Structure 1
């Protein structure tokens, strides 16, 4: 039986103390404990010397194989090229990219190092699933080392148009290296089509339906696989959390005011300043809502050692203070801006209490907060999702959400007012539409679709896996939870 080898930038090692594990670790244990598998990647540690070999830990049927990075690796590969070039460019912000040849060299060096270590672990029939922009060239390096395994790649963040991709210096070595995978998966059809046009620009021949490309003598399949959540499980979590003492105390602190909620990692792609501007406009132009609504913005800090993020933190905190200084009184604080991480259970309870959610990124691959908010609602009295048209989730939830342009302050404020005043019948209808999508396309559906595309039914490799459908579905629950983990931890 072939193994599934999951590769991600970070790996959450099991806690020897037996304490509560993070969401990612819980997901991997649930996915792989009955069938075995490998989770390979960076340990999260920065060491004086690079690892000679992966540190291997076995727990509940999962093999964790991790390596350390040196300080130079961390600065050039992670803080440098991955997060100061690829992240902004792929989020359509080429103007924010800060390129240096040293960072590109470090990015390629670390990918080669990952390939060296992974090459010693792989068996010929392993199925390899690699995740996100940190490791775009990894398949090419593995191919150079003679590994012809089926390899899939999933991009959790957006893929911009070809002319923006070309803003990445030496883009053929990084983004272009995705052509060495058997399957490249994207969040939306738009992302997939953007990459197809880039490959065509690079000399590839795209199939008429846009789902494949012949380039450099290789065939690469392109697919759309919107990341999902465990819809039923998250709904149960929200119902339970709603009854906990902690969430009850939070609800009581609102004093019967309506609740608007936002949950985002501190990042310029999330559009938090734009959202604050819209809320301020709402308070200025709709004074009858004063002291009748509270907006809670939960924003864990990320990349705190990067100067741009430090400046962003100061700016957002200053804006929150301005709003409260202008509109609050001794009995009402219109905006609660909280810089800490909460458990998924606590967040589920907060979502269920909320009357509206502001999920308004300037650009986002998917945004699982939108899906979790919908799943957490009481179907008899649901809240309203205010969703950016530039979030990947808009393609699936647009029929039920209030879609907004996060650059249009007045329209966002108007949508917020509409959400708070929406009649119950309309709220129920909109929520029902979105839940039908989430229930039909949950994490099981997503996992099955990706694996079947990576290892087609007619190939001998697909037959070699011979996993029951339920096992196939559970094997790859990792990426959705991993994306959620990234959102709140900034990994």
Structure 2
């Protein structure tokens, strides 16, 4: 990019900076300034919708895919993802909130799916990036299949260049670290649109990353992007340390710029956020409140006892076994809370086809049963564990009516449940108990922080937070909500455009 073009682009960003960057209107303005009429192309492994037999769309509850869905349905653009349900390979996803977007669905051969997803993505990269060496499993053949799937994704991206050339390609997460490599290697375009990557999960320390036999291929795949985003300063620092340790030929310049293979790569912290107003509206709707009440009644959760909620996938990184230990210490040290508070966890099984996950989930259920048998009384149960996926509308109402949210992740890139809970609380007094090992803890430092590795400390934090005056809790939530509003979904996208 020449100096004149760079100066012009900086002037356009500055003109937008003078207005609020917290709304979709601001993002549309920035996008028009930088990309003109060219669309944004988002690339993820998971598709954002489920296509039903009656040719309708269903949205999975929560998660990053839904944050991106909320963005693109308002902005318009292209989304490329693996095809997980029936229907055509190309779909127009309509929206009442904006223009909707085009969904291009990638057909992954059945012979590649298991080694790509269960194998290399979630048996190798996921535990390694989360610092779980005990769960790390490596099969050399699975990387070949993983790389082949990334090549298939790259071909689909290049196909869009011939249909409607995007102004930006934004690739997401650990399943797709090699897509940009294949785009640069196989594209016949004279110039490519900017290629950006966002790492939603933690980045490991260099010693752990070096356990990966294919570390060079993964690292060079990431350095094929123009922009690489991380959730926290810690993850960014670990990535730069990894590059400087393992690729001495790569130069680390000022402002977190890496020069490698003659190209500058901008590395930035850009924590993902939510749309607080969207969640608040859902939490306030009467029909959602009624649906939440029906759910509590169905599960036998009494309405006269306050509850603290947790919402997770049944994954070892979410600290569910550590949570039981914390609750056991809590009722041991503070028995006065018996029959005065219950804990409700929505823990949906995930990756149950993998032996390790199946064993973990079975052991967890046994521990929940033992814990309840130890503490329950004829009229009270300390922990209700539900394995049902709830719609976002229902969760929003549950967040609002709960007395707190307990997040016990042992290592989490961000954890959007924390932000969703506070958004739904609004001016409420529910307490956020937030693991210090989440990206959200970097952002929400005024939350009541716990540590899943220190159950006694965490039990004391639970007691302190629940014992605080209503006024103190409301004031704390106001501070936290302001922080969420400043770092919302649209702020996340703005920080990406800032680095173009």
TM-score bucket (shorter structure):
0.7 to 0.9
Residue of structure 1 equivalent to 2:39: 3
How far 1:30 moved relative to its partner?
Answer: 5.5
Q: CA 1:238 to 1:45, structure 2 compared with 1: closer, same or farther past 3 Å?
A: closer
Q: CA 1:434 to 1:280, structure 2 compared with 1: closer, same or farther past 3 Å?
A: same
Residue of structure 1 equivalent to 2:434: 387
Q: CA 1:126 to 1:243, structure 2 compared with 1: closer, same or farther past 3 Å?
A: closer
How far 1:323 moved relative to its partner?
Answer: 1.1
1:138-160 deviations in Å (ceiling 9; x for gaps): 10110001352210000111112
Which runs of 5 or more structure 2 residues have no equivalent in the other structure? Answer: 1-36, 95-99
Residue of structure 2 equivalent to 1:442: 488
Find out whether 1:190 has 2:239 as its counterpart.
no
Find out whether 1:157 has 2:204 as its counterpart.
no
With 353-362 and 270-279 compared, the bigger mean Cα shift is at 353-362
With 420-429 and 252-261 compared, the bigger mean Cα shift is at 252-261
How far 1:13 moved relative to its partner?
Answer: 5.2
Structure-2 separation of matches of 1:430 and 1:37: 38
Find out whether 1:42 has 2:82 as its counterpart.
yes
Q: TM-score, normalised by structure 2?
A: 0.84
Q: Which residues in structure 2 correspond to 1:145-294 (within 5 Å)?
A: 145-146=186-187, 147=189, 148-201=192-245, 202-203=247-248, 204-209=250-255, 211-240=256-285, 244-249=289-294, 253-294=301-342
Contact 1:251–1:353 under 8 Å retained in 2: no
SS in 2 for 1:448: helix
Find out whether 1:115 has 2:159 as its counterpart.
no
SS in 1 for 2:433: strand
Q: CA 1:34 to 1:280, structure 2 compared with 1: closer, same or farther past 3 Å?
A: closer
Find out whether 1:129 has 2:179 as its counterpart.
no
User: How many residues matched?
Assistant: 444
Contact 2:288–2:394 under 8 Å retained in 1: no
How far 1:117 moved relative to its partner?
Answer: 2.8
Q: CA 1:198 to 1:19, structure 2 compared with 1: closer, same or farther past 3 Å?
A: closer
1:356-398 deviations in Å (ceiling 9; x for gaps): 211110000000001111111141x411111111100001111
Q: CA 1:20 to 1:163, structure 2 compared with 1: closer, same or farther past 3 Å?
A: closer
SS in 1 for 2:439: coil
Residue of structure 1 equivalent to 2:412: 364
Residue of structure 2 equivalent to 1:478: none
Equivalent of 1:376, from 421, 424, 427? 424
How far 1:112 moved relative to its partner?
Answer: 1.3
Q: CA 1:256 to 1:99, structure 2 compared with 1: closer, same or farther past 3 Å?
A: same
With 5-14 and 334-343 compared, the bigger mean Cα shift is at 5-14
How far 1:241 moved relative to its partner?
Answer: 5.2
Contact 1:241–1:345 under 8 Å retained in 2: no
Contact 1:38–1:65 under 8 Å retained in 2: yes
Contact 1:242–1:353 under 8 Å retained in 2: no
How far 1:195 moved relative to its partner?
Answer: 0.6
Residue of structure 1 equivalent to 2:444: 397
SS in 1 for 2:237: helix
Q: CA 1:240 to 1:308, structure 2 compared with 1: closer, same or farther past 3 Å?
A: same
Structure-2 separation of matches of 1:242 and 1:65: 34
Q: CA 1:241 to 1:365, structure 2 compared with 1: closer, same or farther past 3 Å?
A: farther
SS in 1 for 2:254: coil
1:104-129 deviations in Å (ceiling 9; x for gaps): 11111111122223222225554101
1:33-71 deviations in Å (ceiling 9; x for gaps): 57642211210269xxxxxxx922234352221122233
SS in 2 for 1:73: helix
With 230-239 and 55-64 compared, the bigger mean Cα shift is at 55-64
With 117-126 and 13-22 compared, the bigger mean Cα shift is at 13-22
Residue of structure 1 equivalent to 2:459: 413
Structure-2 separation of matches of 1:35 and 1:95: 42
How far 1:32 moved relative to its partner?
Answer: 4.2
How far 1:228 moved relative to its partner?
Answer: 0.3
With 404-413 and 112-121 compared, the bigger mean Cα shift is at 112-121
SS in 1 for 2:323: helix
Q: What's the Cα RMSD here?
A: 2.2
Equivalent of 1:55, from 81, 86, 89? 89
Which runs of 5 or more structure 1 residues have no equivalent in the other structure? Answer: 47-53, 456-491
How far 1:250 moved relative to its partner?
Answer: 5.6
